[in-house]
Every structure is written in structure tokens, then in C-alpha cells.
Amino acid sequence: MSYDELYDSTPRTFNNKLIGFNDYQEQLMRDGWEQTRIIAHSTLSPHSKKKLKPKEVLPFPWDNKSKPQKELPSKEHIQSVIDKYDKKRLNKE
């Protein structure tokens, strides 16, 4: 990023570029470790009696990372919210 780009950017655009740069650097690091895992797996698998998986040979913290599931509201909760807004609307009329 040049000085002109830096000083012409808003805090939001700078933050977006910074997040993108950090994500890019993290992906490069992960790619390197994935290559290392494949090399280790290829080296060990001919000498192992059981069938190895690459994730068993060299597990990483990001292997088990799953996106959190959003809980859907229950029918009772939805109905209570609708009732609450209906009461407010009726009081205004």
C-alpha cells in the first residue's frame, strides 16, 4: 500500500484491507503446513501397518473448526414477539 493510498483511505477501507491481508497471510501459512502434512503422510504410510489418514498423522487446530450453527427461534418465541408487537400497535390506535 503506497503512502497516497494509506492517507486517502478511510478507517473502514483500511481495516478491510488489513483483514484481507491477514486472511491472505494465514491462508499462505496453512497451505505450507498442509504441504508438510502431505509429505509426512507420504513418508510414513509405506512403513505403517494400518492405513493412515493425513489428518491423523499431523492434526491441526483448523481441521475441526466448524461454523457455529445459528439456533432458530422456537414457535413460542415467535408467537410471543408477534403478540407483543400486536399489543403495541393496538395501543397506538
Mean pLDDT score of the chain? 87
The residues, ordered by sequence, that sit 6+ positions from 17 with a Cβ below 8 Å of its Cβ are: 1, 9
Please write the tens of the pLDDT for every residue from 19-50. Answer: 999 999 999 999 999 999 999 999 998 988 88
Cα–Cα distance measured from residue 11 to residue 17, given in angstroms and rounded to the nearest whole number: 10
Which pTM value belongs to this model? 0.58
Q: Which pLDDT score is estimated for 34? A: 94
Q: Which pLDDT score is estimated for 26? A: 94
Lowest mean pLDDT across 28-32, 42-46, 79-83, 84-88: 84-88
Query: Considering just the CA atoms, what is the radius of gyration of the chain in Å?
Result: 26
Chain centroid offset of residue 18 CA: 16
Lookup result for grid cell 493425513: 54
